[in-house]
């Protein structure tokens, strides 16, 4: 169960040990627990603390999708793609591009390329 892990992480946060990794871990655990809004909140803090944290951008997008916040998720994925590209993280770019395209199709939005499947 994620609850004991969350309790320990929340204690660390309450003691003032805030960090991007701690927020990422909390977001990941809340997402596992089926609480996407709490997950998104922690993940937004993670990327605010470390804007270059591509894994946090990817998980933030996933949490926002789970919360039904598609447009915000698309923005998170786009930001995450830019971050991952700048770091040469091709796998993260590939994954977030797929997720972003799914949202774009869902929203019926046109994107920056003629690519479609």
The CATH number for 59's domain is 1.25.40.10
Q: What are the Cα distances from residue 69, in Å, to 36, 92, 100, 115?
A: 10, 21, 13, 24
In a domain, 13, yes or no: yes
Report the distance separating Cα 13 and Cα 15, nearest Å: 5
Q: Are 9 and 25 in contact (CB under 8 A)?
A: yes
Per the structure, the complete domain to which residue 70 belongs is given by 2-111
Per-position pLDDT tens, the chain of length 117: 578 999 999 999 999 999 999 999 999 999 999 999 999 999 999 999 999 999 999 999 999 999 999 999 999 999 999 999 999 999 999 999 999 999 999 998 544 544 444
Question: Quick check: pTM over 0.85?
Answer: yes
Which CA distances in Å does 3 have to 22, 94, 106? 15, 32, 33
- For residue 47, the model assigns a pLDDT of 98
Domain count, the chain: 1
How far is Cα 29 from Cα 43, in angstroms, rounded to an integer?
A: 11
Contact criterion met (CB below 8 Å) for 46 and 20: yes
The reply to whether 116 falls in a domain is no
Identify the pLDDT of residue 117. Answer: 40
Would you call 93 helix, strand, or coil by DSSP? helix
In a domain, 90, yes or no: yes
């Amino acid at each position: 169960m994620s609850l004991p892990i969350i309790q320990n992480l929340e204690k660390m946060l309450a003691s003032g040990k805030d960090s991007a990794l701690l927020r990422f871990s909390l977001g990941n655990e809340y997402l596992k627990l089926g609480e996407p809004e709490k997950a998104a909140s922690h993940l937004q803090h993670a990327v605010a603390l470390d804007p270059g944290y591509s894994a946090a951008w990817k998980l933030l997008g996933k949490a926002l999708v789970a919360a039904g916040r598609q447009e915000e998720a698309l923005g998170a994925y786009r930001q995450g793609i830019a971050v991952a590209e700048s770091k040469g993280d091709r796998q993260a770019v590939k994954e977030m591009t797929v997720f972003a395209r799914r949202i774009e199709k869902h929203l019926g939005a046109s994107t920056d390329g003629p690519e479609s499947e």
